[in-house]
Amino acid sequence: MKLSIKEWDQKLRNSSTEEISRLLEFLASDERQGAKKLFKTYTSRLLEVEAELRRLEIMCSFEKQCTANGKNFIAGVDEVGRGPLAGPVVAAAVILPEGYTLNGINDSKKLSEKKREDLYERIVKDAVCYSTYLVQPDKIDEINIYQASKLAMTEAVYQLKIQPDQLLIDAMEIPLPIDQKKIIKGDEKSISIAAASIVAKVTRDRYMKKLDQMYPHYGFKSNMGYGTKEHLEALRTFGATEIHRKTFSPVGEIIQYTGSE
């Protein structure tokens, strides 16, 4: 019996990727316009699924190589918040289960806020362990942002409940006696670093939203401490707060001009 277009659609919706591929072979010979439309739609979805699987396979290549070299606990490490005028720099370290994949995981900067939040919940639930570390503005001003980022990463690794035997780090090396690989744009190339990127980003964004309640004039819940027009105007009007980075321009200049600190 020939299926109606509605029945075909329902059948395809409820099928696995492998089943869809098989069903599309039958649907390809159906001359009805509705059938042709379904074929085009589900073929496109199938190609997207296959492309995502290939992308994830590439993102797991560093982890697979480390596992092949006898490493048992591989930690991805990344930081966020180097550029803002206010708030901490935040690092995360994440150890994922061996062979772990997660659809949609990517560099946190390439994801919407909702997607980051959804992925964050999955990552912290599925991870072998993870940790975060915040370096506050006074320390950033004391040692500079590069050293503060390195400190945040080092402490994030140090505070993991299980100490890793391999680190995969986004474009940096840290002073710990653990084998480590520096990967340029690592949050795009390594699933472990991407996971750390997302955990660090969501942690910092949530923290800045809490600061917004304490300092409502600066728009931290939307600008996350970056130097937006709204933020700069608030700085000139209300001056700098204790969570502003005094060594960052134009915060230092505004402090001198307004006398606020």
Residue 218 and residue 224 in contact, taking contact as beta carbons nearer than 8 Å: no
* Alpha-carbon Rg for the chain in angstroms: 24
Helix (H) or strand (E) holding 130: strand 129-135
* 118 known member of a binding site: no
Residue 162 and residue 75 in contact, taking contact as beta carbons nearer than 8 Å: no
How many C-beta neighbours within 10 Å does residue 253 have? 11
* 165 known member of a binding site: no
* 253 known member of a binding site: no
Q: Which of 250, 157, 144, 139 lies closest to 200 in space, CA to CA? A: 157
| Residue located via tokens 């105007």 | 233
Residue 131 and residue 93 in contact, taking contact as beta carbons nearer than 8 Å: yes
- Residue positions forming the annotated binding site: 78-79, 170
- Residue positions forming the annotated binding site for a divalent metal cation: 78-79, 170
